[in-house]
Every structure is written in structure tokens, then in C-alpha cells.
Amino acid sequence: MLRKYIASFVAVVGIPLVGYTVVGVWFAAEEHRAALIEVQRANAQAAAWRITQFANEIEGQLRWATHLSWNESGADQHRIDALRLLRQVPAITDLTLLDGQGRERLFVSRVSMDRLDTRIDRSSEDAVQAALKNGIHFGPVYFRRDTEPFISVALAATRREAGVVLAEVNLKFTRDVVSQVRVGREGLAYVVDKAGRLIAHPDASLVLRNTDLSSTMRVIDAQPDQSLHRLISMQGEQVLLAQAPAPPMDWRVLVELPQSEADEPWRRALSRSLWITAVSLLVALGFAVVFSWRMVRPIRTLTAGAARIGSGQLDHRIPIDSADEIGQLGHEFNAMAGELERSYATLERKVEQRTQALTDANRAKSRFVAAASHDLRQPLHALNLLVAQLRVETSAAERQRLTLRVESAVASINGLFDGLLDISKLDAGVVHANVTAFPLQQVLDRVEATFAEDAHARGLHLHVRGHGAWVQSDPVLLERILDNLVANALRYTRKGGVLVGCRQRGDHLRVEVWDTGIGIPPEKHQEIFAEFYQVAPAGTLRGEGLGLGLSIVSRLGQLLGHRVALRSSPGRGSCFSITLQQVPPQLRALGLVEADDVPDDPLCGARVLVIDNDEDILESTGGLLRGWGCKALTASCADQALERLGQTAPDLVLADVHLDGGEDGVENVIRLRRHFGRDLPAIVISGDVSQETRTRVAGLGFPLLEKPVAPLRLRTLATRLLRAATRLEGASGPDGSQRARPRCGCPRPVP
């Protein structure tokens, strides 16, 4: 506990301090990066401006060589001007003057023999044509003897008769320009031409080696949105590089700064922050040790005394003299030890009695589950259908007879036995998942329709947020999971409401059920998924379940491969979630029509035959079907059914398996099919849930519903079978061998 207090104290102080340090360093790094970008950009632009000024100065000097036309002065004056220009501009090594017709009149050079009045026609040269068109032309960079970079400059006079001047400029003098650009302590600037060759650098040897930087320029061009580029320099170290264009030669000036020098300021800031944080944490740790020890010492004394009492030394008393809460707790422990000492003599007898009571209760529960599973199915089924009939009954006297108390009792008993049967089927492995792709909204709509009235009756809000995703699951089992979660949420919520929503998690979708109920302690998060476990105190939820819902949810989640999770805290509600695999749009099944898109109710006007040996079930089922708009006929055997049907075949048959006189409902359906010469849609309903019966019914292709049957489940299955039969009839040939039942526009009653 001492460590816990120390850790808590240090965490309270240290977490904000560390957080402040991290945020401060992050902001400092961002500000430093922004400032570095601006500085590097300014350095590159300044260097580019100097290179541009170098070119402008050469252009200005060359214009003096064209101020006289060849008609106004002789060759001597032009030669004097040319020699003066070579002396004033050391970068120019060769100078050629052409007259207005493009003929060479003068050539002076620092390295070659001068030529006078050769009158060689050079008007067709590209440089001359470009200068006459644009006024000035800067040629591409070339290297003499593969060492020194040169550029040809052609300048046309403002007057045509003054001709054109051609100059060969040695670019080694640009080294003085870039050497004057200072970038930090170790940064530098250099120039590359359009082809990516190095033409100016503080290290002249790199230029003389005709260094090719085209690969570096391609990397820079591939990052047009970045102001700074992290690259490896020619010296092999990581640098931050910025660039700027140098018109009109279409060169680029690059400014680089070593990464280590660029990161140095914020690294110093980080080091200072870490030192301050470390010292502060050490001080906090010292205070935490002192104060925690003062708190923990009496607690340790209390713990040691409680351990001795717990080990059987009931005569031991805890020596705590403080008057605070811990002292009061010590006195309570001493009082408890005295009480235990007095009651120890009768403890074993009470434990034995309680154990026997639990054993008897467990045996009673087992006998109840074994005996009630089959015997109560028939009356439960009849009562369930009578309750559904009450919902559509229009007679006031009849509605008074069928009281709401019957419906509530039947619903509670149905829920209890559904849970018991689900657990037994899951344990027996007879439940199989039919995984398919379907829109989740269909399941959400059914969940909302199922529990909206119940939530309203409890004075709660139920909100189901829709979602357009398609998921991969078994829609029936998934609906059962959500039904159990929503029912459980409503059961444990006394005020507020329940929210069902979805969250996107990559290619998965998490369906969550939130409530504002009593909440679940963390130590109970695993126990609530066990059978017969209820988190509420005994007696507070009498008649509202056996504690099987979450156990069913857990087992169905394992069967479907869906992860079931829980977040909850006492007094603040709970959130149960199930994670589903989403279906990409390109893999969704085609041609599926949702129920809301079907304009007609196939039950309306349908002739439905009910075969059962129980009069209450026949009466209640017939009343329920008539409430749905069906023409219901009831019979206790196949002979009676044929007599009442006459020559008209039914649209749907509901048949129990075990009838009076040893008759079999499945065989009755087969006999009716043979009699009318068509595959009549049929639903088999039975209280016999043995594996033999399931296998036989499934082998014949009949859907099986187990008693007690919820009206909504019966209506859903009947609607699906009738709609499928209608599509088959509509697709039959023109001979009319199969009749098509006419559609009707009667309203759809709620079951």
C-alpha cells in the first residue's frame, strides 16, 4: 500500500508536469521548425538575388559595348571599348562584336589571338537569333577542358546597326558570390544549372570535377509542397535544404544547413525541460514517501491485526489509539472480533444448515427444469396466443375478460422457459449458425419494434440509432443477442433510458447497448455471464428472469465468432457491445428486398389451415390469424381438414406433430399435398424438442417452431413462406396450373 500511495502521489504531480513538458517541447520544436523554414527560405532567396545581380552586372557592362554603331565609328574605338570591358569584368574571357548584318567585326580574348574585321557571317547562329528576338540570351552552361564552367551571353543592341555582342563568361567568379552567403555556422549555398550540374560552390574543387547533382534535383522536384528537404549532402551528412530560382539563367540556388546544427536549439530546450522535470519528480517523490509512510503505518498495524483475527485468534485486539477514521476502523475490528468469538460455537452448524439449504435449492431447481420443460408448453402456447388475440380484439367486453395480468404472466413464463431451452440447446450443440450477408438496419428495426412498448410502459426512453452497414452474421441469432441485451438493459434501468448505436472500427462494426441502470462492479464483470446469476440484490427483480440472458449472449457470441464486451461502473449504467464483420459493397448479395419495400401483406386474405389436438390452441390460433386478416380454418386431423377445405387448397398449413389417436401432423401435411397435387407451404409446430424430431422435420424440408411460439416469430415465418409461394405462382406457365392468390390492401395488424 505504501508503494501505491507513493505512486499515486507522484502520478498526481508527475503526469501534469510531464504532460506540460512534452507539450512545451512539442510547441518549441514546431516553432523552431517554422522559424527554420523562414530563415532557410530567406537565405536561398538572398543567394539567388546575388546570383541574379551578377548576371545583371554582366548584362550592364555588355550594353556599353553596343552604344556605338559600326557606321559611326571605326574598329579602333570598338577595340578600345572591348579591351576596357575585359579589364573591368574579369569573368569575361572572350568578347565578339558583330555588326548589324551579323558579321564578325572584332574578337578579343584573354587566352586566344585577337581577330579584326574578319566579316564572318554569324547571323544564323542560335545565340545571335535569340538575342535579336529577346534582346539578351543566356546559353547553357558548358565546361572547358571538363573543369571550369562557362556560359555564352549574347546581347543585341537597342539599334539594329549597332549589332550584337557575344561574351564567354567564366562562372568560377560566382564562387565569390555564394561564399558571401552565411548559413549558420556550417551551412553553405551553391548553384546548379538547369541540367543539375554544380556551377558554383564555396569548395571550388567540387565545381572543377564537374559534379552532377541531377539525382538530388529529382528528389527535390518530387516534393513540390515542402519548403525544406531532408537530404544527404555531398559530404555524406544529413542536411536541411531550401532552394530558390535565379532568373534569367534558369539556375537554382540551394542553401543547406546540417541537421545537427538545425536541431541544436530545440535539443537544448528539451534537455533543460527534462532536467527540470526530473528534479521536480524527485522532490515530489520525497514528499510522497514522507506523507505515505505516515498514512500507511497505522494501516499496516490494522492489516496485521485483522490477519491474526482472520487466522482464528479471536481474542486478539488491534492496538490503535488514533482518533481518526483508521482508529475508528480499528475499534470496529475489535468489536467484530468479540462478536465472532461469541458466535464461533454455532458457526459450523449454521454453515452446515446453509450448505444443505443450497443443496436442496439446487436439486429443486434441477427438478423444476426437468419437469416443467414439456408439461407447461401446451398451456403456455395457448395463453400466449390468447394474449396476442387480446391485442387485436375490438370488443370491450372481451378485452376486459382477457386481462393484462394474463399477458404479463405469460410473457414472463415464456421468457423463463426460452432461456432454459436456449441454454440446453446451446449446450447440446443443436444450434447451428446460418451466417449470411444482410443489412443491419433490418435487425435494429425489429429490436426497436419489439421493445418500444415495453420501454414506454416502464417510463423509459428507448432510442435505436440506424446504420446502413451490411454485416456478416446469422440475422436470427444476432437479433436474439440484441433482444437479450436490450431486455436486460430495460430490466435493470429504473430511470433514464436505453440507447442502441453503432461505432465504426476499421472493417468491423461494433453494436453497443447503453443503459442508465444500476451498473455492475468490476469484480462481477465475468460472473454475470454465468447461468442463473443476477447482479441485483435478491428479490428486487422477482419474476423478471432467471439470470440466463447474458449467458445466452455469451454462448451465441462464441458460436458466431463475435466478440462480446462490457464496460460498466456501479451507479452509472452499463454498455454491452458486440463486434461484427462488415460486408464490402461489392460483395453484398444482389436482389434482396427489405420488408419495408414490399407493398402488400401476403397474410391478408390468405387461407390458413391449423391442425392441432388442443381446442384452446385451435381457438386462439384461429383468432390470431383472423386478426391478421387471414381466413383461418381449424381441424384436429387430416380427415376433418379435408372435409372443411372442400375443393379449395389452403395457402398455408400450421400443424402440430403429435395429434390424437397416434396421428402425425407431418404425415397430415404430406397427405394434404398429395390430395391437392401441389407443395403447400407448411410450418410444423411442436413441443417435442428431441433431436430425432428435429432431424426428421428438417429432412422433409419443413420449418420447425417450438412451443411456446411468439406471435411475431410465427407471423414473420408465415409471411416469408407465403411471399415465396406467391413468387413461384407468379413464375408458373400460362396453363394456369397454379393459381395466384389476389393481393389485398387490408391494413397490417400488429401481433
Looking at the domain assignment, is residue 348 inside a domain? Answer: no
Looking at the domain assignment, is residue 263 inside a domain? Answer: yes
**Which residue pairs, CB below 8 angstroms and at least 24 apart, start in 334-338?**
336/309, 337/309, 338/314
Number of domains in the chain: 4
Query: How far is Cα 729 from Cα 679, in angstroms, rounded to an integer?
Result: 11
Q: For a pLDDT cut of 90, what percent of the chain falls above it?
A: 15
Q: Which of 13-17, 376-380, 582-586, 722-726 has the lowest mean pLDDT?
A: 376-380
Among 644, 632, 641, 645, CA closest to 611: 641
Q: What is the pLDDT of residue 10?
A: 67
Looking at the domain assignment, is residue 26 inside a domain? Answer: no
Looking at the domain assignment, is residue 743 inside a domain? Answer: no
pTM of the model: 0.38
Query: What domain range is 400 assigned to?
Result: 361-425
Rounded to 5 degrees, φ, ψ at 283 are -65, -45
User: Does the structure show a pLDDT above 50 at 375?
Assistant: no
Looking at the domain assignment, is residue 285 inside a domain? Answer: no
Higher pLDDT, 675 or 433: 675
Read off the pLDDT of residues 190-231 as tens digits, 9 standing for 90 and up.
Answer: 899 888 888 888 888 888 888 888 888 888 888 888 878 888
Q: Which of 146-150, 486-490, 722-726, 742-746 has the lowest mean pLDDT?
A: 742-746
Helices (H), 393-537: 396-401, 404-428, 440-457, 475-491
Which pLDDT band holds residue 188 (cuts at 50, 70, 90)? confident
Is 149:179 a contact under the CB 8 Å cutoff? no
Between helices 325-343 and 259-310, what is the axis angle to 10°?
40
Last residue of a domain, one of 539, 566, 595: 595
Instruction: Give the number of residues written for the chain.
Output: 751
Last residue of a domain, one of 565, 595, 625: 595
For residue 511 the three cell numbers come to: 453494436
193 and 104 share one domain: yes
541 and 649 share one domain: no
262 and 173 share one domain: yes
State the maximum Cα–Cα separation within the chain, in Å, rounded to a whole number.
142
Q: What is the pLDDT of residue 508?
A: 93
Which range, 263-277, 394-408, 465-479, 706-720, is most confident?
A: 465-479
Which residue in this structure is represented by grid cell 443477442? 481
674 and 574 share one domain: no
Query: How far is Cα 66 from Cα 156, in angstroms, rounded to an integer?
Result: 8
Stretch (H or E) spanning 610 = strand 607-611
CATH number for the domain harbouring residue 222: 3.30.450.20
Q: What is the pLDDT of residue 737?
A: 41
Looking at the domain assignment, is residue 23 inside a domain? Answer: no
Looking at the domain assignment, is residue 329 inside a domain? Answer: no
Q: What is the pLDDT of residue 186?
A: 79
Average pLDDT over residues 157-184: 83
629 and 559 share one domain: no
492 and 453 share one domain: yes
CA angle 483, 484, 489 (to 5 degrees): 100
682 and 533 share one domain: no
Query: How far is Cα 643 from Cα 655, in angstroms, rounded to an integer?
Result: 16
Read off the pLDDT of residues 557-568 as tens digits, 9 standing for 90 and up.
Answer: 999 999 999 999
Q: What is the pLDDT of residue 427?
A: 67
574 and 613 share one domain: no
99 and 232 share one domain: yes
574 and 640 share one domain: no
Q: What is the pLDDT of residue 364?
A: 44
Among 605, 690, 674, CA closest to 682: 674
Looking at the domain assignment, is residue 747 inside a domain? Answer: no
- Inter-CA distances, 549 with 288, 426, 579, 633, Å: 47, 13, 18, 37
DSSP state of 536: S
Last residue of a domain, one of 595, 626, 655: 595
Query: How far is Cα 108 from Cα 441, in angstroms, rounded to an integer?
Result: 90
472 and 577 share one domain: yes
Query: How far is Cα 82 from Cα 107, in angstroms, rounded to an integer?
Result: 9
CATH number for the domain harbouring residue 583: 3.30.565.10
405 and 465 share one domain: no
